[in-house]
Chains A and B, each alone.
Chain A
Amino acid sequence: MLSIKNLKVKVEGKEILNGIDLEVKAGEVHAIMGPNGSGKSTLAHVLSGRDGYQVAGGEVYFQGENLLELEIEERARKGVFLAMQYPVELPGVNNMTFLRESLNAMRQARGEDEVDAVSFLKLVRQKAKQVELDEKLLKRSVNAGFSGGEKKRNEILQMAVLEPSLAILDETDSGLDIDALRTVANGVNQLRAPQRALIVVTHYQRLLDYIEPDHVHVLVAGRIIRSGGKELALELEERGYGWLLEEEAA
């Protein structure tokens, strides 16, 4: 589904990613772990298409298409979804209106009819329940005045409604208490499906207690220095990142 080859990315002239290789197949869950500043979020945003990143080399193919040539919204319409670490507050933009326009943009791109008001309401209510998002928040402005946990739930709600093929979760666990973490993880797990892939970007292992990965990659200084199964995450939790850095240096 997603194939990243020797991806090099610069931000303001400084190399942040220097040669990432990653293969993600449908149905898989990949965790990308690493210390702060290792380039995890950069990777997430480059896949989503945010401005300000210069691709200095390598390629990214998503379902056979050159992802890097697509506009932000084209990527989204083709099924790439990034649950952001810091969801943006949009004062005055109604959460329901936003979700509906977003869903319709996706449907339109797939050549489907717009969703009617009644079915949409039903769908959103059901999904909101699934991620335990207070229905009142649906009527408010997007993320405006939401708590940290509410913002993350709102991201997962969007993901549940839009049903992407590739979902990237950028530090979705940051700032969540254990109950919120469990709810969010539960929401994510319900989206696991044979036709869908997930990339979970996280600093800590604890999210992976709830979202069990098939593959774990360790990103350090812009490169994946180790890949393994879920046991790698446990080892990192126990021993930290230091030993990997030492082995790498040796």
Chain B
Amino acid sequence: MNERTSLPSGHQQDAQDYIRGLPAGEGWLTGRRQVALSRFAELGYPDTRQEAWRYSSVEGLLQQGFVALDADRNVAEREVRKEFIVEPVAGRLVFVDGLFQPGLSDTETGVEVRLAGLRDAMAVADRQMLEALGFLSGSGDHAFSALNLATMQDGALIRVAAHTKLDRPIELLHVSTGAASGLTLRPRHLIMLEEGASATLIERYISLDEGSYFNNLVCEILLAERSTLRHQRIQQESRQAYHLSEIYIALQADAHYEGVNAAIGGVWSRTRINTRFVATGASCELDGLYLAGDGQLTDFHLDVDHAVPGCVSRENFKGIINGRGRAVFDGRILVREQAQKSSAHLSNANLMLSRQGEIDTKPQLEILADDVQCSHGTTVGQLDPEALYYLRSRGLSEDQAKRLLCLGFASEILERFESDSLRQQLEESIRQQVEAGVVEVA
């Protein structure tokens, strides 16, 4: 047996012990954890012989030997509060090193919106909030999702009642501190919008210290008939962190999902977005921006399943690669035989700022229906020398010119982040990335 695919036995034992040690109140969840653990044991860790992992080896991640333990937290509340978005929010869920922080959160939202920490909900066996856990992610082929379900520690539970329209965003902030170094964090979020509900969720992962840890998170999103979720996600972890986001979205009839992702930090970062249309008339827009600087690997996998007729999906991802950065983009759209009148448009554009960078991009449209509108396009390019000359001839330095052009390249994605302060932060990240001053090796 290949060494990488075999499950480290210690790992499984840890997981078993962890499951046994859970509070009795959530005994009914234990079964689900056990099933997930068995599934993980069958799957093992992925390796690069699997197509979806071909360019993103987990070897380096496994070598780190991260363990699942509660961090010895010493929460610097003031430091965390400084990271809150400037705009007023409908509610706020704050996590430090994977664990919910009631003192920093704001869950007094009235009856239309329920916000809770997963651990608290498990402790009181809150079935209304927990029932759907693992429905979308549980029995799939994704080892890390299974492992997450088996050993999940905490996470955000969000439920918006039918016909409730929130005009302010809900903030989900995950902060990592130095105490997370050496640990695996396993947050799991569940977001449910009931019929006709509408909400905006701003979800961010940031680090207060430059620690090395593994954030292995899963986010399940259930959108009922005619509900709308605008979801803005930013991954800005420490440059030594490993980050894996696995997002599962199911859309009922006429539901709408609008997701925009930015992956900036981490030494190794992967985001997989699984979108499944369950009933007709739904639409899904996915936008994304990734920056892969020197020494970083940034990976996006999209899996959009047009399982039913009459749904619309649009995907637009842009990447900036600098130094010896590596990026992977794999966008798969499946339009099944019965999914007539589907519309699917996928676009991926990459800007290479150095000759040492690497991008592996693979748009895949698998179309089995005949009456559909589909397109895909991929580009890999460099900064236009004419544009650089033009900007410099107006007095801008080469760095300034590059920054403006990179921001221009990213602007259609950045514009989808509704918060001004977030956009400014992202622009600042791009500036730092561009000006990182990587020495070109001839």
Contact = CB atoms under 8 A, between A and B. Distances in A.
Interface of A: 48-51, 71-73, 75-77, 81-82, 84, 87-88, 90-93, 97-98, 101-102, 105-106, 109, 141, 158, 162
A97 B395 CA distance: 14
A112 to B, nearest CB: 13
B407 A76 contact: no
Contacts of B387: 88, 90
Interface in B249-288: none
Interface stretch (B63-71, B89-97, B221-229, B396-404): B396-404
Interface stretch (B212-220, B240-248, B408-416): B408-416
Nearest to B410: A92
B390 A73 contact: no
24 contacts: A49-B393, A50-B393, A71-B392, A72-B389, A72-B393, A73-B395, A73-B398, A76-B392, A84-B390, A84-B393, A88-B384, A88-B390, A90-B405, A90-B408, A91-B408, A92-B408, A93-B405, A93-B407, A93-B408, A93-B411, A98-B404, A101-B396, A102-B394, A102-B396
Contacts of A72: 389, 392-393
B103 interface: no
A91 to B, nearest CB: 6
Name the 4 nearest CB pairs between A and B, nearest first.
Answer: A92-B408, A92-B411, A93-B408, A105-B395
A98 B393 contact: no
B70 to A, nearest CB: 45
Contacts of A77: 395
A49 B410 CA distance: 28
B79 interface: no
B391 interface: yes
Given A51-B389, A90-B390, A98-B404, A76 B395 contact: yes
A77 B394 CA distance: 8
A162 B408 CA distance: 22
B386 interface: yes
Contacts of A73: 392-393, 395-398
Contact of B389 (A50, A92, A93, A97): A50
Nearest to A109: B395
B10 interface: no
Contacts of A84: 390, 393
B405 to A, nearest CB: 7
Interface residues of B, number: 23
Contact of A141 (B386, B392, B398, B408): B408
Contacts of B381: none
A51 B385 contact: yes
B386 A98 contact: no
Nearest to A49: B393
Given A73-B398, A101-B400, A105-B400, A82 B407 contact: no
B140 to A, nearest CB: 37
Nearest to B401: A73
Interface of B: 384-387, 389-398, 400, 404-405, 407-412
A72 B388 CA distance: 10
Contacts of A98: 391, 394, 404
Contacts of A91: 408
A82 B420 CA distance: 35
Most chain A CB within a 10 A radius of its CB, from B384, B390, B394: B394
Contacts of A76: 392-395
Contacts of A106: 395
A221 to B, nearest CB: 26
A50 B387 CA distance: 11
Nearest to A143: B390
A239 to B, nearest CB: 35
Nearest to A87: B390
Nearest to A159: B394
Given A73-B398, A105-B397, A109-B395, A93 B390 contact: no
A1 B4 CA distance: 71
A31 B397 CA distance: 30
Contacts of A102: 391, 394-396
Nearest to B386: A88
Contacts of B390: 84, 87-88, 90
B112 to A, nearest CB: 38
B381 to A, nearest CB: 12
A82 B411 contact: no
A82 B396 contact: no
Contacts of B386: 88
B397 to A, nearest CB: 6
A178 to B, nearest CB: 27
A121 B55 CA distance: 48
B132 to A, nearest CB: 40
A72 B396 CA distance: 9
B404 A97 contact: yes
Nearest to A92: B408
Given A50-B393, A73-B397, A92-B410, 12 more contacts: A49-B392, A72-B389, A73-B395, A76-B392, A82-B393, A93-B405, A93-B407, A93-B411, A102-B395, A102-B396, A141-B408, A162-B394
A173 to B, nearest CB: 20
Contacts of A87: 390
Contacts of A105: 394-397, 400
Contacts of B395: 73, 76-77, 102, 105-106, 109, 162
